[in-house]
Chain A
Amino acid sequence: MATEVLLPKLGFSMNEGTLTEWLVPDGGQAVEGQPLYALESDKSTNEVESPATGTLKILKETGETYEVGTVLAVIQ
């Protein structure tokens, strides 16, 4: 079953965040609990863990800003 990787809301006033780096390559193996990507908001930079284990299919590019809730990738 596919798991969506959603951009989280971190912090009170956050509405969007910048996806700065994928820590697992497209098509690579994501492992639940292991760092998956780096997220920058105006308040902080966070390494976000993978929500599931499986093959990573990247949907969104780095260097762009996305709204909270955006589907960044899917893990199969």
Chain B
Amino acid sequence: MMSNRPTPDASTQIEIYRRAALLKANDERSRKVIMNGRLVMPYYSYRGQEIIPSATMVSLTDDDYLVTIYRGIHDMLAKGMPLNDLWAEVAGRVDGTCKGKGGPMHLTYPAKGIMVTTGIVGSSMPIANGLAWGSQLSEDGRVAVATFGDGASNIGAFHEALNLAAVWKLPVVFLCQNNLYGEHTTYEKATSALRIADRAAAYNIPGVRVDGNDPIEMYAAAKEAIDRARAGEGPTLLEAMTFRFHGHVFGDADAYMDKAQKQAAVEADPVPRFRARLIADGFATEEQLAAMEAQIEADIDAAVEFALASSFPELDELTRDVYAEGVAA
């Protein structure tokens, strides 16, 4: 236990909770809307993993970059993606952030630094390196964060990206959200390393394993890595331990998930646990948090209605944005 580790103050803790509560509510609403048949889309639930991005993104600005993956709506919302733009996009509507042409796996919102979302496991990392290289050249102090899962640590792009980032000392943070499953396969069956953080040694960069469900620990580890990057000290591999409450893609039977393990994780749900802790520590009152949560629900209500009321894109969008305007697709 290092006494000089960064600790979030009261207002930061409340902000971390606000983001986590937003993520939880958004996930619940997403699943509800799908179950009701109101929306048809592949949905990769992040429920259970809310604390990781909430405690990380508070240490980033809008100018810092995020590259995330298909199970990344929590990352994007924590980074500041507006709800309306997000919902309209997952509904395939023209008012979506990508005019309905990307969908949930390709959500992009550059104004908040959400530069790329990829549906390819592992591909967030090489691209995050490029963004970081741009910052290094511009000397603008920006940091790029690449998020990915435990499964991605086994793909070739992970190796290539960490190696290059280390050699070029890029201002990038590799944030692995280890939820113990890669698609349907357990960590143990797929990954040779005892801990993903141990792989950092192979690249001569710091590797830090942290309880991703503990907001104080997650905040500290993330802030240290971000500050290192910003100071020009190069990349860090963060392995944030967590658990996903639902299957790989929503609708999966998730029979492959160990029932006892899952039950324990659900009982230790980090979001209500943090909520209780905030109140117990005297940082917030029940009334404050309830009001905050009611606002979140209202915002989500508005976003869902906005999305469903929005039109679908016109057919000419099929061949627009393949190239710059004016070039025939």
Residues of A within 8 A of B (CB): 4-12, 14, 41, 43-46, 48-49, 51, 68-69
Q: Main SS of the interface on chain A?
A: loop
Considering only residues 30-52 of chain B, those with a C-beta below 8 Å from chain A are 32, 34-38, 40-42
16 additional contacts (CB under 8 A) given A46-B251, A51-B32: A5-B37, A6-B36, A8-B34, A8-B35, A8-B37, A8-B40, A11-B250, A11-B251, A12-B42, A14-B251, A43-B251, A44-B252, A46-B35, A49-B35, A51-B38, A69-B37
Chain B residues whose CB sits within 8 angstroms of the CB of A8 once the complex forms? 34-37, 40, 251
* Pairwise interchain contact A48-B251, C-beta atoms closer than 8 A: no
Chain A residues whose CB sits within 8 angstroms of the CB of B255 once the complex forms? 44
Chain A residues whose CB sits within 8 angstroms of the CB of B36 once the complex forms? 5-6, 8, 51
13 A-B contacts, Cβ less than 8 Å apart? A4-B37, A5-B37, A6-B37, A6-B38, A7-B37, A8-B37, A9-B41, A10-B35, A11-B249, A45-B253, A46-B251, A49-B35, A51-B38
* Pairwise interchain contact B253-A69, C-beta atoms closer than 8 A: no
The interface on chain B, measured as residues whose beta carbon lies within 8 A of the other chain's beta carbons, has a size of 15
Residues of B within 8 A of A (CB): 32, 34-38, 40-42, 249-253, 255
- What CA separation (Å) do A66 and B275 show in the bound complex? 42
Chain A residues whose CB sits within 8 angstroms of the CB of B38 once the complex forms? 6, 51
* Pairwise interchain contact A44-B251, C-beta atoms closer than 8 A: yes
- What CA separation (Å) do A69 and B40 show in the bound complex? 8
- What CA separation (Å) do A69 and B36 show in the bound complex? 10
Chain A residues whose CB sits within 8 angstroms of the CB of B35 once the complex forms? 8, 10, 46, 48-49, 51
Of the candidates B34, B35, B42, the one having the most CB atoms from chain A within 10 angstroms of its own CB is B35
Minimum Cβ distance to chain B for residue A9 (Å): 5
